[in-house]
Amino acid sequence: MWELISAGGPAMWPIILCSVLAMGITLERAWTLQRSRVLPADLLPKVRRLLEAGSVSDEMLTALERNSPFGRVLAAGLAARHRPRERMLERLQDAGRQVVHELDRFLNTLGTIASIAPLLGLLGTVTGIIRSFTAINQGAIGDPRLLSGGISEALITTAAGLMVAVPALVAYRLLRGRVDALALELERETIAFVDWLETREATRR
């Protein structure tokens, strides 16, 4: 492995850095974007039971905010539950935008890695070709061993850049799709909660 890295020349180091970052971001986002962590299945029924029991307090709202991204949205809605529907929806939308922004965290970096990794490989290809032509100018055209270093650098960096870019792009697309799906589900669950809350308030009047 070390022989391949050293044969790839200086362009291999930023490619390796990109691979480490891409792996870390992919694992962290795959863990964070689990549905059970973003939208716990038992959270909404629990909040409804607390409302029915009249157990809504500042401590409960604080615990709800810390529970999950969906809990943060629900806490914003509960804090504004006595305001008009339009004001409550504004608070919910603001909280939802902040939550989606946090779900998107690091994905732009992952997409950037997928874009620049092939360019770094291309940079290594260019430097390898330059190295080969320099050897030719120095009279190495009759000795293939002196040319092989530049050719190896060109091929290794091209392959390494693609090996980083392809998985990073696949991970970016999958995680982006997961964020979009979670955002839609957050919106649907939030609207259902607002409708339930309004129906509850109307029946109590």
Whole-number Å distance between alpha carbons of 72 and 62 = 9
- What confidence score (pLDDT) does residue 157 get? 87
Residue 14: CB atoms within 10 A of its CB come to: 16
DSSP class of 205: -
Q: Which residue has the tokens 């509960």?
A: 78
Counting other chains too, the contacts that 142-151 makes at CB distance below 8 Å and 24 or more residues apart are 149/7
Residue 181 and residue 148 in contact, taking contact as beta carbons nearer than 8 Å: no
Residue 121: CB atoms within 10 A of its CB come to: 26
**Token pair listed for 101:** 């922004």
Whole-number Å distance between alpha carbons of 196 and 54 = 16
Per-residue burial over 21-41, b if 16 or more Cβ lie within 10 Å, else e, is bbeebbeebeeebeeeebbee
- What confidence score (pLDDT) does residue 1 get? 62
Q: For the chain, give every domain's residue range.
A: 2-204
Dihedral (Cα; 120, 122, 128, 132), 10-degree rounding: -160
3-state secondary structure 42-85: CHHHHHHHHHHCCCCCHHHHHHHHHHCHHHHHHHHHHHCCCCCH
Dihedral (Cα; 57, 63, 69, 73), 10-degree rounding: 10
Residue 147 and residue 135 in contact, taking contact as beta carbons nearer than 8 Å: yes
For the chain (length 205 residues), average pLDDT per consecutive 10?
A: 64 91 96 92 84 76 85 84 76 88 93 94 82 65 58 82 94 95 90 79 62
